[in-house]
Amino acid sequence: MLEKKLLTKRVGIVNPLSIDDYIKQDGYKQFKKALKMERISIIEEVEKSKLRGRAGAGFPAAIKMMAFAKEEAEHKYMICNADEGEPGNFKDRYLMENDPHSVLEGMLITAYATRATKAYIYIRGEYNKALSIMKWAVDEAKEKGFIGKNILGSDYDFDMEVRSGAGAYVVGEEFALIESIEGKSGRTRVKPPFPTEKGLFGYPTLINNVETFCNYPVIIEIGGKAFAKIGTASSTGTKLISLSGNVNQKGVYEIPFGVTIREVIETLGKGVPENRKIKMIQLGGACGPIIPEYMLDMKIDFDRFEDFESKTGAGAIIVMDERVDVFEVLHRIVNFFGHESCGRCTPCREGHPQLEILVKRFLNHEATSKDLLSLESLARVMHQTSLCGLGQSSPISIISTLGYFRDEYHDRIEFVGKV
Ligand SMILES: Cc1cc2nc3c(=O)[nH]c(=O)nc-3n(C[C@H](O)[C@H](O)[C@H](O)COP(=O)(O)O)c2cc1C
Ligand code: SF4
């Protein structure tokens, strides 16, 4: 069995609109267990589990949790990042729509362990169904006494609110998200200070991805050590994969880290329609690298991907078959990120329109070798000097194809015979 359902075990079985059904299926049992544990023991279990954040960067969850836990303040905020604006990713929507209480249970465990006072669930503006389901779930949890004053008879008080975004991709970035909740336009801030020190309304704030939170009930249930045995040494547990593109069975699949990309595409996704050949895939979403077919036997693992100047990102795999033109894909990506740029820093604001002009020349077979040099240096400058992850990662698709598909760039130059 390639799939390992830890986070998605209730999907399709539990009624997402019924807290009673969730409770019947052992829901909130791990939160009740956590309430009886020492707070530090919960954090220690997370440390033992070696869980890494599932938003894309793979930051160790326990380090962030510990930094937030030690902060003393009147208000301590938590944010569940459910903005999921990146093309190719839809696994957070899947979790929220199908098992909302598992997200809340994970948040409650984290909140109790760190003495958080209030949480916001920030949901992408276009996710209307997820928004309604999460609001419903929060109301139900309040009625049952899982959220509110003296939770389940303890001395712990904790509040939760659901917020909706307004359609900007950049607001998924943690400081832009904080600004948005504060009622400002969603733009990032310079770090440090980090959100755990000075975040929402100036108070310590812990921000995690939806999928990250969903791991906490599993860690409490089986223990950090047992959790660390799943997956690989550096990437423990399971990963939700959003599989899309030229593949027969698109969808969300939960696999232990260590499964190869090819296994996901061929076994879970049932291969490419009409047995066409795979040309390339994009990993992580629109801001991820585009890699060739011969790399599909790589195991899904945060560090292994870094060896190849690549990354798992949030776990999207976009399959592109032999008919796909690299430059059409790049043009769409550059266009998307140029549109989503908030305009605050020069490399990203001014760089995207120039990238678009250059990529379009390759697309239209009008490029010169000077264009190739300009494209390469501009993509690297943007990657290295942009203020936030949007401008830093949007050129990754170009940088990766300049490495893996360089012949195609040369072919387009030779076609018009220019120098
Ligand atoms: C442009 C941009 C967009 C982002 N969008 C999201 C998003 O939609 N969801 C998310 O969880 N993290 C997103 N992130 C990452 C967040 O800033 C933050 O690191 C993350 O929520 C931390 O979660 P984790 O520690 O659980 O992985 C984005 C980052 C950048 C730079
Ligand atoms: S990189 Fe782009 S999105 Fe990020 S701060 Fe700069 S202009 Fe805004």
- The pLDDT tens digits of the residues spanning 189-233 come to 988 999 999 999 999 999 999 999 999 999 999 999 999 999 999
Tell me what pLDDT residue 309 has: 52
**Which ligand 2 atom lies nearest to the CA of residue 392?**
1
**Distance linking the first and last C-alpha atoms of the chain:** 54
Distance 62 CA to ligand 1 centre (A): 17
Distance 303 CA to ligand 1 centre (A): 19
Tell me what pLDDT residue 163 has: 97
Ligand 1 within 6 A of 340 CB? no
Residue 302 to residue 232: CA distance in whole angstroms:
10
DSSP letter, residue 287: T
Q: Which of 323, 322, 317, 327 is nearest to 279 (CA)?
A: 322
Distance 390 CA to ligand 2 centre (A): 6
Contact 397, 333 (CB under 8 A): yes
At residue 312 the predicted structure's pLDDT band, cuts being 50, 70 and 90, is: low
Residue 224 to residue 46: CA distance in whole angstroms:
6
Taking every pair of Cα atoms in the chain, the longest distance, rounded to a whole number of angstroms, is 78
The 10 Å CB-count burial string (b at 16+, else e) for 114-130 is: bbbbbbbbbbbeebeeb
Per-residue pLDDT averaged across 130-137, rounded? 98
To 10 degrees, the CA torsion angle through 123, 126, 132, 137?
-30
Tell me what pLDDT residue 310 has: 53
Residue 409 to residue 138: CA distance in whole angstroms:
52
Strand pairing partners for 320?
280
Domains and CATH numbers, the chain: 19-228 (3.40.50.11540), 238-321 (3.10.20.600), 326-416 (1.20.1440.230)
Name, in order, each residue with C-beta under 8 angstroms of 346's C-beta and a sequence gap of 6 or more: none
Ligand 1 within 6 A of 315 CB? no
Ligand 1 within 6 A of 174 CB? yes
Please, what is the Cα angle at 16 between 32 and 267, to 5 degrees? Answer: 100
Ligand 1 within 6 A of 313 CB? no
Ligand 2 within 6 A of 345 CB? yes
Q: What token pair was written down for 55?
A: 């938003």
Per-residue pLDDT averaged across 99-128, rounded? 98
φ, ψ for residue 223 (rounded to 5)? 90, 150
At residue 311 the predicted structure's pLDDT band, cuts being 50, 70 and 90, is: low
Ligand 1 within 6 A of 180 CB? no
Helix (H) or strand (E) holding 396: helix 396-404
Residue 391 to residue 361: CA distance in whole angstroms:
21
Helices and strands (DSSP H and E) totals, the chain: 18, 9
Q: What token pair was written down for 280?
A: 């390339």
pLDDT in tens, 242-288: 999 999 999 999 999 999 999 999 999 999 999 999 999 999 999 99
Please, what is the Cα angle at 238 between 236 and 242, to 5 degrees? Answer: 135
Ligand 2 within 6 A of 162 CB? no
Ligand 1 within 6 A of 100 CB? no
Q: Is the pLDDT of residue 418 over 60?
A: no
**Alpha-carbon dihedral sign for residues 335, 336, 342, 346:** negative
Contact 252, 240 (CB under 8 A): yes
Average pLDDT taken over every residue of the chain: 95
Share of the chain above pLDDT 70, in %: 96
The 10 Å CB-count burial string (b at 16+, else e) for 184-196 is: eebbbbeeeebbb
- The letter for the amino acid at 238 is T
Q: Is the pLDDT of residue 295 over 60?
A: yes
Name, in order, each residue with C-beta under 8 angstroms of 88's C-beta and a sequence gap of 6 or more: 242, 244, 282, 284, 285, 286, 288, 316, 317, 318
Q: What token pair was written down for 336?
A: 């998307």
Best of 171, 188, 393 for a ligand 2 pocket test (most atoms within 8 Å of beta carbon): 188
Residue 218 to residue 91: CA distance in whole angstroms:
18
Sheet holding 316-321, edge to edge: 251-256, 238-245, 316-321, 278-283, 290-292
**Which ligand 1 atom lies nearest to the CA of residue 174?**
17
Contact 255, 69 (CB under 8 A): no
Helix (H) or strand (E) holding 348: helix 346-363
The three-class DSSP label of residue 234 is coil
At residue 330 the predicted structure's pLDDT band, cuts being 50, 70 and 90, is: very high
Ligand 1 within 6 A of 54 CB? yes
Tell me what pLDDT residue 9 has: 98
Name, in order, each residue with C-beta under 8 angstroms of 7's C-beta and a sequence gap of 6 or more: 95, 102, 211, 214, 215, 218, 238, 240, 254
Share of the chain above pLDDT 90, in %: 93
Chain Cα centroid distance, residue 336: 18
Tell me what pLDDT residue 245 has: 98
